[in-house]
Chain A
Amino acid sequence: MIEVEALTKRYGRTTAVDGLTFAARPGTVTGFLGPNGAGKSTTMRVVVGLERPTSGRATVDGLPYAELAAPLHAVGVMLDARSVHPGRSAYRHLRALAQTHGIGRARVREVLELTGLESAAGRRAGTFSLGMGQRLGIAGALLGDPGTLILDEPVNGLDPDGVLWIRRLVRELAAEGRTVLLSSHLMHELALCADRVVIIGRGRLLADASVAEIVARSERAGTVRVRTSEPEPLLRALLERGAHVTPQEPGVLQVRGATVGDVGAAARRCGVTVLELSTEAGSLEDAYLRLTADAVEYRTSDAAGAPAGGAR
């Protein structure tokens, strides 16, 4: 269980995280989504105690991270593939982490096997590809068999096989009752493996809801797409009915405020041939772009109202 309450982190005049509140619950994969520089990594670093919040708090299982007696058993952390000394072998890196908590060699071998690194265990981490570095990071996170996992961009640099593996892994970890917080900039990736999504932009919370709820908020969700040989008469007919119509590519209209039935009936009344007629499903990507676009607008008006000299 990860709880972030009114978390703010400033670096000088720059506010990286601004009053952020959310929770990641046991048995759930929580996706953490936001554009670059939104504050995802900063939030994660604060949660694991590498950085102190300017105000607010972050706790794991009810305790600030630094007060955990056995952090490795409580939280598995993978922040950055470059969290390993490049001159040290994968085995020795994991072994050193394990020794702090008195975890034996057997478990080190186990996580190496689990992440498919057993053949590379003796190689220096500096010679690893990005994907292998990610696997080593995940091996370190699993070392203490923790109840909570914090993974920053875990699929970054993985081959399709590795991506599939991560997806199954996080689903399985959550099914075992663990809390998984997973950041990504790949929205479709989160749509496939997250239960809930926390979206932030410029350090502020934009959305905290289930994947289905977010998708339903999508711009396109519930709109009707119709392709016809003569769009003009249909466009007029639909506008008369009070629908919102946006012409798209030649012959295609996007209709908001009308069902497929309404559009079909309208087409029949004005005698045009319908070539294609469907309700569009929203996508997480769409919803995400819309949410972050709002954040951009909000930020602009905010800056305009603020006194001159903002650090932008």
Chain B
Amino acid sequence: MSAAVVTGVRPVGTPRRGVTAGGVVAAEWTKLTSLRSPWWTAVVTVLVAGVITWLSANASSVDPGFVPADSISTGLLLAQLGPLVLGVLVGAGEFRTGGFRSTFTVVPRRWPVLAAQAVVTAAFGLGLAVVTVAACVAGVLPAAASRGMTLDLAADGTPGVLVGMVLLLVGLALLGLAVGALLRRTVPALVTAIVLVFLLPVVLMLASDPLIGGAASEGSGLTVTGTVGVLLPGTAGQLMTLPAGSTGMDGAPALGPVGGGLVLAAWVLVLLGLAAVRLRTRDVT
């Protein structure tokens, strides 16, 4: 295996290009797409979204008041886990494997790497989200056909719901990235993200139930648990998938789809900011 010792293509000291933002983004894209796990995550996400939507639409289609468009987002309930996992893998994967040593010796200012990871996660997440939402739409079609209904995607509110679904999935991918980059370990980051997005809303919902001692919503109609609940990233993001003008959740301020989106965006920005601060101020070992 010995090779000839030829090292240089250029003489030492020739000025050359340094680290560029575009270069770091291109490198992160190569890294993301050269692993198997993002592709597997994407395939499973799309399949789960399509199948769950199909099952749920079939179940609802026996209801006399069945509206096909209302079933579109049902598959996301489980499928939204996919982008979250994707983000965590990007954010924590480097630290789990030691790949960060190469990465941060090549880009010693470090934060451009995190910014580039956000860009490529959003881009990959966007592609994944569009295909996932398409799978959801396709999942509704058999049920609609069985009732002789057509699915009108241009109908009032539906375009907004579809856009909201895409944005929710992209937002969750970025949330996963932020948690992964902050905690630097895959399993703790995954558990944290799942607790934040899936578990806490359920816990708060149960806690606010008057039957088990939660505070009843009186007067303003706001409760502490309801308000905290809607400010969690998963719940707030979910608001984007509701048709505009739909009533929000009990005991919670009516944020609306835009408000919900902004709350999710705030979570992403704050956690990414914390991860960036940790990257800049602490050793990476």
Q: Say whether A associates with B.
A: yes
Cβ contact within 8 Å between A48 and B98: no
* 3 nearest CB pairs, A to B: A70-B18, A92-B34, A69-B18
CB contacts under 8 Å to B, within A16-74, are 45, 48-52, 65-66, 68-73
Cβ contact within 8 Å between B108 and A71: yes
On chain A, the residues within 8 Å of B220 by CB distance are none
| A162→B94 CA distance, assembly (Å) | 28
Closest to B1 in A: A116
Of A80, A95, A113, the residue contacting B98 (CB under 8 A) is: A80
CB contacts under 8 Å to A, within B1-59, are 1-10, 12-13, 16-20, 23-24, 26-28, 30-31, 34-37
Chain B CB within 8 A of A164 CB: yes
| A49→B280 CA distance, assembly (Å) | 11
Cβ contact within 8 Å between B7 and A145: yes
Chain A CB within 8 A of B101 CB: yes
On chain B, the residues within 8 Å of A161 by CB distance are 1-2
Of B2, B19, B98, B109, the residue contacting A101 (CB under 8 A) is: B19
Most chain B CB neighbours (cut-off 10 Å) among A85, A142, A165: A85
Further pairs besides A66-B109, A92-B34: 4, Cβ < 8 Å: A102-B23, A114-B7, A161-B1, A177-B12
Chain B CB within 8 A of A99 CB: yes
| A110→B4 CA distance, assembly (Å) | 11
Chain B CB within 8 A of A79 CB: yes
Shortest CB–CB separation between residue A157 and chain B, in angstroms? 13
Chain B CB within 8 A of A239 CB: no
**Contact A99:B23 (CB < 8 A) given known A71-B106, A82-B97:** yes
Chain A CB within 8 A of B284 CB: yes
Cβ contact within 8 Å between B1 and A100: no
Closest to B102 in A: A83
On chain A, the residues within 8 Å of B283 by CB distance are 45, 50-52
A-B contact pairs, 21 of them (CB 8 A): A68-B108, A84-B97, A85-B31, A85-B93, A87-B35, A92-B34, A96-B27, A99-B24, A100-B20, A100-B27, A100-B106, A101-B23, A114-B3, A116-B2, A145-B9, A161-B1, A162-B2, A165-B1, A165-B3, A172-B7, A176-B12
| A184→B17 CA distance, assembly (Å) | 32
CB contacts under 8 Å to B, within A128-187, are 135, 140, 142, 144-145, 147, 159, 161-162, 164-165, 168-169, 172-173, 176-178
Cβ contact within 8 Å between B34 and A145: no
**Contact A85:B97 (CB < 8 A) given known A49-B104, A176-B12:** yes
Shortest CB–CB separation between residue A61 and chain B, in angstroms? 10
| A142→B2 CA distance, assembly (Å) | 16
Cβ contact within 8 Å between A89 and B101: no
Cβ contact within 8 Å between B31 and A96: yes
On chain B, the residues within 8 Å of A164 by CB distance are 2
A-B pair number, CB within 8 angstroms: 152
Cβ contact within 8 Å between A97 and B7: no
| A115→B7 CA distance, assembly (Å) | 10
Closest to A159 in B: B1
Shortest CB–CB separation between residue B84 and chain A, in angstroms? 20
Cβ contact within 8 Å between B99 and A101: no
Cβ contact within 8 Å between B101 and A83: yes
Chain B CB within 8 A of A93 CB: yes
| A95→B196 CA distance, assembly (Å) | 36
Cβ contact within 8 Å between A96 and B30: yes
| A162→B1 CA distance, assembly (Å) | 7
Chain B CB within 8 A of A77 CB: yes
**Contact A172:B5 (CB < 8 A) given known A79-B105, A84-B98:** yes
Chain A CB within 8 A of B131 CB: no
| A77→B18 CA distance, assembly (Å) | 16
Chain B CB within 8 A of A217 CB: no
**Contact A50:B284 (CB < 8 A) given known A113-B3, A165-B3, A178-B12:** yes
On chain A, the residues within 8 Å of B97 by CB distance are 82, 84-87
Of B3, B7, B108, the residue contacting A66 (CB under 8 A) is: B108
On chain A, the residues within 8 Å of B26 by CB distance are 99-100
Chain B CB within 8 A of A88 CB: yes
Cβ contact within 8 Å between B17 and A101: yes
Most chain B CB neighbours (cut-off 10 Å) among A70, A113, A116, A144: A70
Chain A CB within 8 A of B107 CB: yes
| A96→B37 CA distance, assembly (Å) | 17
| A159→B10 CA distance, assembly (Å) | 30
On chain B, the residues within 8 Å of A68 by CB distance are 18, 108
On chain B, the residues within 8 Å of A93 by CB distance are 34, 102
